[in-house]
Amino acid sequence: MVARRWPGVQARLSLLGSFAVSTHEKSEKSMTTLFAQPYDISAPGFYFTSADEFTASTKRAVNDYGQPVEEFEIQFIDGEDIDCALAGAWKLYQSNFAEYLRAVEDWDEREKIAFIIAIGECGHRFEAKTDDPSEIEFDLYEVDSLRDLACHSACNIDPLSRGLGVQN
């Protein structure tokens, strides 16, 4: 399998912000909790942790007039910091939260970070049903400013690869 190169994916390490990158598996993982907020303002929302819970709760969801509620905004409520960042990059909707919950359980930390940077920060497209997060490749540079990143990038380019011959 050939890895897909995501062009232009360069990010400052500080973009990773509130979660720490570790190389070991955490012994206990907190449960990811989402909230379904109905677009109908006369209907109450509900918390859920799985697609099955969501489906069961939507079957019982009615507004103040007894009419069924069909459309919900999905909000991240509780879980690991990296999963919160993943939810932001995923742009949760009623149609895609089940894939998000599957990714929270199945993806390793490197795949989550790659997704957050490539899709959330750089705007690349990703189809959860067909794309593989392990194919996302990117370079991280620990720098203090974009100027430092530009200097780092310019200083590491071979002059001959830019078509600039060295004259004696």
Per-residue model confidence (pLDDT) at position 13: 37
Per-residue model confidence (pLDDT) at position 157: 56
SS3 73: strand
Per-residue model confidence (pLDDT) at position 104: 96
What would the DSSP string read from start to end of 136-157?
-EEEEE--SSHHHHHHHHHHTS
For the record, the structure tokens of 156 come out as: 């590491």
Per-residue model confidence (pLDDT) at position 1: 33
Cα dihedral 72, 75, 78, 81, rounded to 10, equals 150
For the record, the structure tokens of 33 come out as: 């909790």
Per-residue model confidence (pLDDT) at position 153: 66
Q: With contact defined as beta carbons under 8 Å apart, do 118 and 9 qualify?
A: yes
Mean pLDDT by 10 residues, the chain (168 residues): 42 43 50 96 96 96 95 96 95 95 94 90 82 79 80 61 48
What would the DSSP string read from start to end of 123-137?
-----TTT--GGG-E
Count CB-CB contacts under 10 A for residue 103: 18
